[in-house]
Amino acid sequence: MLIFEPGANAKRFRCCLWILTLLFLVGFTSPIRADSNIPGKKQTTLKLYVNARQAWEKWSASPGTVHILDVRTQAEYIFIGHPSMAVNIPIRFLGDTLNPITLHPGMPKNDRFIESVKQRFKENDTILVICRSGSRSAVAVNLMAKAGYRNVYNIVDGFEGDKLKDPDSYQNGKRIINGWKNSGAPWTYQLERDLVYNP
C-alpha cells in the first residue's frame, strides 16, 4: 500500500506520473521504427513508417517542411477523397480492362513517376507517402529511395485502412479499421489545381 506524505513522496509521485504520461504520449505519436510488426508488402528499404494519425500530427507540426504524397490513381484521389494537403502523383494508373480470374482492374505503371516526384520534391525533403492501404506506397518509397530520397515514410494503414475481419459483422471486409479516413485527420473531395496530378 502506498502512503503519500507531503513533501518528498508527493513530489516523487508527481514526477513518476509526469514521466508515465510522457512515455504514453510518445508511444502514440512517435514514428514506428521497427518493421517487425509491419506486413512484408508494406515494408520499405528505408524502414521509416508512420500510421495515418502520426502522419497527420507530423505534418501539422511542420506543414512547411513535411509533405504528403498520395500515390493512388487519379480516380481514387478524386472520387474516394484524399488528405486535404496531399499532392497526387500516381504510381500506377487505372486500366480499362479486368483480369478475368481475379476481376481486378489492370493497373499499368506510371513510367514518369520518379520524374514527376523530382519536379515536385527535393531529395532531402521529408515526404510521407500514402496509398489505399500501405502496399503501393511501400513500392513508391522504394523507388524514391533508389532515386536518392532518404526521408520518405510509408503511411502503413493508408487512406482507407485495413479490412475488418469479422464474419459476424455486416462490415466484414470493409476498410474501417484504421487509415487516414478513419483517424480523424482531415480529408476532402475538393480538388486544388496545384495538388492534382496533371502531367
- Answering whether pTM is above 0.85, one says no
| C-alpha pair distances (Å), 105 with each of 76, 101, 113, 130 | 13, 11, 20, 20
Residue 59, CB-side half-sphere exposure with 13 Å CA sphere:
24
Greater confidence (103 vs 110) lies with 110
C-alpha span between 139 and 20 (Å, rounded): 37
In this predicted structure, the answer to whether residue 24 has a pLDDT above a threshold of 70 is no
Amino acid at 168: D
Q: What is the pLDDT of residue 158?
A: 97
Residues 6 or more apart whose CB falls under 8 angstroms from that of 42 comprise 49, 134, 135, 137, 138, 154, 156
Amino acid at 4: F
pLDDT tens sequence across 39-71 = 999 999 999 999 999 999 999 999 999 999 999
pLDDT tens sequence across 70-97 = 999 999 999 999 999 999 999 999 988 8
